């Protein structure tokens, strides 16, 4: 059963805090090739941690490079992301950017790969979603907290 929606999730401050944390994490990740902030450890939920990588997109309005740290699910030579934004009602900016320009850079540790991002088709999402929830149970909570269908993004080598 999903956890209750946190009080204050929809305040204007929440996206600003998430953006600030992401910027700091991305700087630390790049400076250390992922040794710092490359694993998300979350007390009892996953004490050994979950791998984090950096996703760089081109801003659809500014044209500038934008980088965010994200949990990811490796799938062969593909990388799978969830555009959850913690269950907020709007899609994250990085997701809107890939709709405009699907060519991205994924950094996993010291390895950078140029990839092409796409939204998983409905049947593909149905296959991936249970694996993603098993990987990070919070994704099920996030989906229950929002009316939008949280997109699954598949990145493949160019």
For residue 33, give the CATH number of its domain: 2.30.110.10
How many domains does the chain contain in total?
Answer: 1
What pTM does this model have? 0.86
Residue 4 forms part of a structural domain: no
* Burial class of residue 43, CB neighbours in 10 A (0-12, 13-18, 19+): exposed
Residue 99 forms part of a structural domain: yes
Question: In this structure, what token pair is assigned to residue 66?
Answer: 């934008």
Please write the tens of the pLDDT for every residue from 60-75. Answer: 999 999 999 999 999 9
**Cα–Cα distance list, 118 to 77, 103, 115 (Å):** 14, 9, 10
Give yes or no for a contact between 10 and 88, defined as CB atoms under 8 angstroms apart: yes
Please write the tens of the pLDDT for every residue from 76-91. Answer: 999 999 999 888 889 9
> Domain range for residue 103?
13-157
Residue 153 CA to residue 80 CA, distance in Å, equals: 6
Rg (CA), the chain: 15
Residue 101 forms part of a structural domain: yes
């Amino acid at each position: 059963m999903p956890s209750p929606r946190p009080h204050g999730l929809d305040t204007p401050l929440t996206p600003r805090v998430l953006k600030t944390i992401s910027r700091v994490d991305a700087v630390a990740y790049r400076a250390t090739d992922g040794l710092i902030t490359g694993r998300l450890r979350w007390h009892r939920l996953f004490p050994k941690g979950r791998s984090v990588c950096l996703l760089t997109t081109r801003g659809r309005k500014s044209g500038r490079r934008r980088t965010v740290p994200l949990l990811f699910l490796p799938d062969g030579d593909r990388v799978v992301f969830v555009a959850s934004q913690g269950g907020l009602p709007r899609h994250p900016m990085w997701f809107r950017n890939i709709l405009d320009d699907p060519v991205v850079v994924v950094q996993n540790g010291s390895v950078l790969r140029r990839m092409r991002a796409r939204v998983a088709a409905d049947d593909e999402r149905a296959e991936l979603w249970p694996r993603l929830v098993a990987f990070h149970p919070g994704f099920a909570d996030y989906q229950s907290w929002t009316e939008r269908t949280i997109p699954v993004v598949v990145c493949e080598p160019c």
